[in-house]
Structure 1
Amino acid sequence: MARPATTSPEEWAVRCDLAALYRLTALYGWDDLIFTHISARVPGPAHHFLINPYGMMFEEITASSLVKVDAAGEKVEPSDYDINPAGFTIHSAVHAARDDARFVMHLHTVAGVAVSAQQGGLLPLSQHSLFPLASLSYHDYEGVALNPDEKVRLVADLGATSLMILRSHGLLTLGHSAADTFLKMFMLQRACEIQLAAQAGGGALIQIPAPILAGIRAQSDRVMRGSGAELAWPGLLRRLARQNPGHDD
């Protein structure tokens, strides 16, 4: 689909990337029917955001179907769909607090929720776990996210990190681009899957020594925010084009 005349090239590019994130989430089996959310900040001074139309499956979402809302979650352009207020409570808090949170991804994957319910959270059991552990925070469960007061506590727990485990709830990542945000979620999700598989083996687990974990913090920028994400993203878009084309409609 051609870009609508009323949409700037900058906004359309963000719309296409956000729609790709939704469809990739479905492609990887990380969706939870119509629930959970991925949001993006619209370029410009208006403090507007894009989020999924509540009721559409993630595999169906397109650039043009995304709903534009203001900081209070109110629609600023006509749409046949509403948004999920519980989802925007979390996303609006992160977007408002962090200038680098251009994209925010929140999922309820089986592996992510399972690890979020473990007292020890994510453990340093694999190489995959080291990169999330370099910038990981936790937020305790407070019920369905409808209480605006929770925003303050969530932002305080997030701090300067870019990956979060929401206790008994799921996973969250943020980034300056769709590619950056997706790679962080991929690493966090894969680390959770590996942890559950290792625990299911029944044997004693070997944790990676603390000095190695400390050293990986200096390397994480290169892997998580550098060329790795940008190199992987075009390939992910090619996979979408083969298996579920049309996100950019």
Structure 2
Amino acid sequence: MNIPSLEGKVSAEEWRLRCDLAACYRLVALYGWDDLVFTHISARVPGPDHHFLINPYGLLFSEITASSLVLVDQEGSKISDSPLPVNRAGFVIHSAVHAVRDDVQCVIHTHTRAGVAVSAQKCGVLPISQQATFVLGALGYHDYEGVALHDYEKPRLQEDLGDGSFLMLRNHGLLTVGRTIADAFLAMYIFETTCQIQIAAQAGEDLVPIDTRILDGVAEAAHVQTDGLGGSFVWPALLRKIERSDASYKS
């Protein structure tokens, strides 16, 4: 798809955000977390207008570019001069989070096989891996209410996420938030890996749980592991990975 570049036509800050968000879409595809053209990743554009960037509906995540991302308002309606469609209904979950979490720049939602599988388990995330310990301290659960198309579900989504970074959508999938795109991606990487490990471990012998007292020190451990940088610690390496695969995300 031939989409004219927006570089130089939007602010330098918005262009950097567009490049990072497009890279995030490509990474989600590269790691196999995409679901054809379904699910979304949104990013709030700095400023007082509460505008957001989201994928044009109908493009594979591996096709997303910085210029193809569409600017929408809090309701998911297009405000940019883009010929590409957006899935306004698909923005319901994202708009619910952005409306109450000013600390959140990015929301990632996935329908991975492992994520949906664990979301369907009554036990939820089990404390059986190091990865799970990073999730459990900031994890909420949201009961399934059908396809998330209606605004009346928003208050419960907001309450169930609270001030956490991880939300398990029962019978549906995973959601992470972050103060940056890099933070939200790292959170999803940990969340998805947690679910993959749990499904694999449950196929074997009796599980060995981690002492829940260890959870109290997890936040400090995460801080140390990333030199206090969070997702920004790994983001440059992830961008290099994408660059080696396909640098067209920056177009």
Question: Is TM (by shorter chain) over 0.5?
Answer: yes
| 1:120-199 alignment runs, 5 A limit | 120-199=123-202
Identity of aligned residues (%): 56
Q: Matched residues in 1 for 2:227 and 2:202: separation?
A: 29
RMSD: 1.6
- Mark the CA change 1:123 to 1:176 in structure 2 (over 3 Å): closer, same or farther: same
Q: Does 1:118 align with 2:107?
A: no
Once the 2 structures are TM-superposed, how far is the Cα of residue 221 of structure 1 from its aligned partner? 4.4
CA distance, structure 2, for counterparts of residue 27 and residue 225 of structure 1: 26
> Residues 93 and 154 of structure 2 are in contact (CA less than 8 Å); yes or no, is this contact kept in structure 1?
yes
Map of 2:214 onto structure 1: 212
Q: 1:131 to 1:53 in 2, by over 3 A?
A: same
Corresponding residue number in structure 1 for 2:73: 70
Gaps of 5+ in 2: none
The partner residue of 1:248 within 233, 247, 250 is 250
1:26-45 map, 5 Å: 26-45=29-48
Aligned length: 248
Q: How high is the TM-score relative to the length of structure 2?
A: 0.94
Deviation per CA, 1:82-102: give whole Å up to 9, x if none: 212332000011011101110
* CA–CA separation in structure 2 for the residues paired with 1:123 and 1:221: 22
Q: Where does structure 1 lack aligned partners over 5 or more consecutive residues?
A: none
Q: Distance in 2 between matches of 1:97 and 1:222?
A: 29
Structure 1 CA distance, aligned partners of 2:155 and 2:225? Answer: 30
Contact 1:20 1:247 in 2 (8 A): yes
Q: 1:139-193: CA deviations, max 9, x gaps?
A: 0000001110100110011111011100000000111111111110000000100
Question: How many Å separate the matches in 1 of 2:52 and 2:136?
Answer: 29
Is the CA contact (8 Å cut-off) linking 1:53 and 1:81 kept in structure 2? yes
Residues 15-94 of structure 1 correspond to what in structure 2 (within 5 A)? Answer: 15-94=18-97
Taking the aligned partners of 2:159 and 2:230, their CA distance within structure 1 comes to 29
- Counterpart CA distance in 2 for 1:225 and 1:182 is 17
The Cα of 1:43 is off from its aligned counterpart by 1.2
Supply the distance in 1 between the matched residues of 2:88 and 2:37 (Cα, whole angstroms).
Answer: 13
